[in-house]
Amino acid sequence: MTAVLVIEDDDRIRLALLLALEEEGYSASGAATAEEGLRRQREEPADHVLVDLMLPGLDGFECIRRLRRDDDVPIVVVSARDDTHDIVAALEAGADDYVVKPVAIKELSARLRALRRRGRVLTDAVPAQVFGDLEISAEAGEVRRAGRPVAVTRTEFRLLCELAEHAGRVLSRQQLLRRVWGYETGDERLVDVHVGRLRQKIEPDPANPRHLVTLRGLGYKLQR
Partner DNA sequence: CGGCTTTTGTCATGGAACTGTCATACAACC
Partner DNA sequence: GGTTGTATGACAGTTCCATGACAAAAGCCG
Residues that bind DNA (CB under 7 A): 151, 153-156, 181, 186-190, 192-197, 199-200, 206-207, 214-219
- Closer by beta carbon to DNA, 46 or else 195: 195
Judged by CB under 8 A, the residue of 19, 130, 140, 146 near a copy of itself is 140
- Closer by beta carbon to DNA, 19 or else 193: 193
- Closer by beta carbon to a copy of itself, 193 or else 215: 215
Instruction: Write down the least CB distance from residue 65 to DNA, Å.
Output: 20
Cα angle value 7/82/22 (rounded, 5°): 35
CA distance 143 to 136: 5
For residue 51, give the nearest of 99, 1, 117 by alpha carbon: 99
130 interacts with a copy of itself by CB under 8 A? no
182 interacts with a copy of itself by CB under 8 A? no
Judge residue 214's burial from the number of C-beta atoms within 10 Å of its C-beta, 0-12 exposed, 13-18 middle, 19 or more buried. middle
Instruction: Write down the least CB distance from residue 90 to a copy of itself, Å.
Output: 8
For residue 161, give the nearest of 143, 146, 175 by alpha carbon: 143
Q: At what angle do helices 154-165 and 189-202 cross, to 10 degrees?
A: 90
Q: What is the end-to-end Cα distance of the chain in Å, rounded?
A: 25
User: One symbol per residue from 142 to 171: x for binding a copy of itself (CB under 8 A), - otherwise; what is it?
Assistant: x----------xx----------xxxxxx-
Judged by CB under 8 A, the residue of 45, 119, 186, 206 near a copy of itself is 119
Which amino acid is residue 199, in one-letter code?
Answer: R
The count of other CB atoms within 10 Å of the CB of residue 8 is 27
Q: Of 70-89, which residues contact a copy of itself (CB under 8 A)?
A: 72, 74, 84-85, 87-88
CA distance 138 to 136: 6
Which of DNA, a copy of itself, none sits in contact with 107, Cβ below 5 to 8 A by type?
Answer: a copy of itself
Which of a copy of itself, DNA, none sits in contact with 27, Cβ below 5 to 8 A by type?
Answer: none
91 interacts with a copy of itself by CB under 8 A? yes
